[in-house]
Amino acid sequence: MGGQYRITGDKYPRMRRPRRRGRLVGLTVASAAVLGVGGWGTLQLIDVFTGGDDPAPASGTKAACADTVSRTVAPKPLPAPGTITVNVLNATTRGGLAQKTADELKKRGFKIGEVGNATEQYDKKVKGAGVLLGPATALDTSLPVLGVQLAGAEHRTDPARKGSEVDLIIGDGFKDLTRKADADRALTALAEPEATPAPKKNC
């Protein structure tokens, strides 16, 4: 061949195939898609096995859903010792216990009624410190007030009993009344309002 197409020298030109840019772009996009799907799947597996983290509620929601809020209960209307008449009865074989106990209760503000030996129903049959006996209406009123004066005493009610007087029946386990300071603290605690948790809210 001659002219401008004449080949000279001892090297022949190499014919290169045209680059297929479209295929490279397609492979790149496909690889990115595969990596993206694989990464998303890995995150899902991690979330399944770790339980995930719940998003923190807004401050308003947190306040509305708090279950530690307490409500104050109004104090129970307990009678004062000066309005309670106590019969002091001795169910033991030890003499003088009823009078001694009655004198101490009087010093603590209680009214004293009958002082003497217990009836046959209780005489020599009370093994504990004592029994506090009263009408059904005294269960949440007079008996708790008297009960702080003798720790461990059993509280009983007699539905057939009339009036408001209560009995302190001294048993074999009786040693002495509760110390006045301790009894006063217990009585104050009875009259104080109690805090109760508010019902939980579903958030």
- Given a cut of 80, whether residue 2 has pLDDT beyond it is no
Q: Are 132 and 153 in contact (CB under 8 A)?
A: yes
Q: Which two tokens stand for residue 165?
A: 């007087």
- Given a cut of 70, whether residue 203 has pLDDT beyond it is no
pLDDT at 77: 84
Band of pLDDT at residue 128, cut at 50, 70 and 90: very high
Q: Are 177 and 60 in contact (CB under 8 A)?
A: no
Side chain identity, residue 137: T
143-157 tens-digit pLDDT: 999 999 999 999 999
- Exposed e or buried b per residue across 6-44, where buried means at least 16 C-beta atoms within 10 angstroms of its C-beta: eeeeeeeeeeeeeeeeeeeeeeeeeeeeeeeeeeeeeee
* CB neighbour list of residue 23: distance below 8 Å, 6 or more residues apart: none
74-115 tens-digit pLDDT: 556 899 999 999 999 999 999 999 999 999 999 999 999 999
Query: Which one, of 174, 118, 108, lies nearest residue 146 by Cα?
Result: 108
> What number of helices (H) and strands (E) belong to the chain?
5, 7
Q: Which two tokens stand for residue 11?
A: 């090297």
For β-strands 166-170 and 130-134, DSSP reports them as antiparallel
Hey, where are the domains in the chain?
Answer: 86-191
pLDDT at 23: 57
Of residues 33 and 136, more confidently modeled: 136
156-182 tens-digit pLDDT: 999 999 999 999 999 999 999 999 999
Of residues 194 and 106, more confidently modeled: 106
